[in-house]
Amino acid sequence: MTSTASQPPAGARADWTIDQDWTGYSHAEHQVWTTLYERQAALLPGRACDAFLQGLDALDLHRGGIPDFARINEELQRLTGWSVVAVPGLVPDEVFFEHLANRRFPAGRFIRQANQLDYLQEPDVFHDVFGHVPMLTDPLFAENMQAYGAGGMRAVNLGRLANLARLYWYTIEFGLVQTPQGLRIYGAGIVSSRTETIFALEDPSPNRLAFDAERVMRTPYRIDDFQQTYFVIPSMQGLLDETLQDFGPLYERLGDLPDLPLDVIAPGETVLTRGTQDYAMAGGRLALA
């Protein structure tokens, strides 16, 4: 998500944006997008929430390989006033939050190679655009992302960024939502990953707990493997209400409270699934490598 560098790299503007240079993509790069798109599009009905699936349709992300940001921005602007801007990679926290607070989503423009379809450490254009942008067509989620950007700038000033980043991680990246039809995924890190789509929803290993902002802010996360615990929001409105709250009193309560272990279920929590943790105990991805 973020970089520790303080100056934009050569060729980037002061706000770290660059041109997407859509005509510069090769046929092979467009083909990687199409392969990934078709795989996920076949997997997601009945697993992703309706807002995501409707956004995917509205933006027509299947047309012509890697989407031209200028084209999808016309539709995104019309729907929720958001736009996608290209950045050279990770950007500093304050740059990231400034973009979000102004309804601009910073996206990488490079795409993974054909031999990296399932796992990538840095977010590429497939993760950023396929994973994040469909939800930005939903008015409630669009407002949530803007509120998160504004909250991010406050958290930097209050020294609470580590806590707020967990909110982003367990909702915008790896969130699940309760719907009348059952649990659905909406987090970008899940919907853009074939393996985590299945794991997050259907595997018996992880815990699935009702979302609670204070609890989430005390929970570290895995950046290199599937999560041991997923948090379930009641609705997009429920998530927005949480993000719009004044986090000041919450940060005060957190004080110096210790982090919670990744797999713990605390007394009084609403448990949707008590996970076996078999996957993590077997060593996770490292054991499979």
Tell the smallest beta-carbon distance from residue 268 to Fe ion (Å).
Answer: 31
Smallest distance, Å, CB 166 to Fe ion? 14
Find out whether 132 and 105 touch, Cβ atoms under 8 Å.
Answer: yes
The closest alpha carbon to 241, from 154, 171, 153, belongs to 171
Q: Which segment (5-13, 117-125, 151-159, 163-171) binds Fe ion by CB under 5 A? A: 117-125
Query: Candidates 12-20, 101-109, 116-124, 274-282 — which segment interacts with Fe ion by CB under 5 A?
Result: 116-124
Q: Quick check: 188 binds Fe ion (CB under 5 A)? A: yes
3-state secondary structure of 104: strand
**Near Fe ion by CB under 5 A, which window of 63-71, 109-117, 183-191, 265-273?**
183-191
With respect to Fe ion, which residue has the nearer C-beta, 141 or 251?
141
Q: How many residues at the interface with Fe ion, by CB under 5 A? A: 2
**CB closer to Fe ion out of 127 and 184:** 127
- The whole-angstrom separation of Cα 159 and Cα 24 is 41
Q: What secondary structure letter does DSSP report for 210?
A: E
* Using rule CB under 5 A, residue 165 touches Fe ion: no
Give the binding range for Fe ion (CB under 5 A) out of 32-40, 133-141, 187-195, 268-276. 187-195
Contacts of 93 (CB under 8 A, 6+ apart): 2, 152, 156, 161
Min dist. Cβ of residue 169 to Fe ion (A): 9
Question: Could you tell me which residues come within 8 angstroms of residue 118 by beta carbon, excluding any fewer than 6 positions away?
Answer: 193, 194, 195
CB atoms within 10 A of CB 287: 11
Please give the Cα distance from 281 to 62 (Å, whole number). 38
Which one, 123 or 175, has the nearer CB to Fe ion?
Answer: 123
The reply to whether 164 sits near Fe ion by the rule CB under 5 A is no
Q: Which residues bind Fe ion (CB under 5 A)?
A: 123, 188
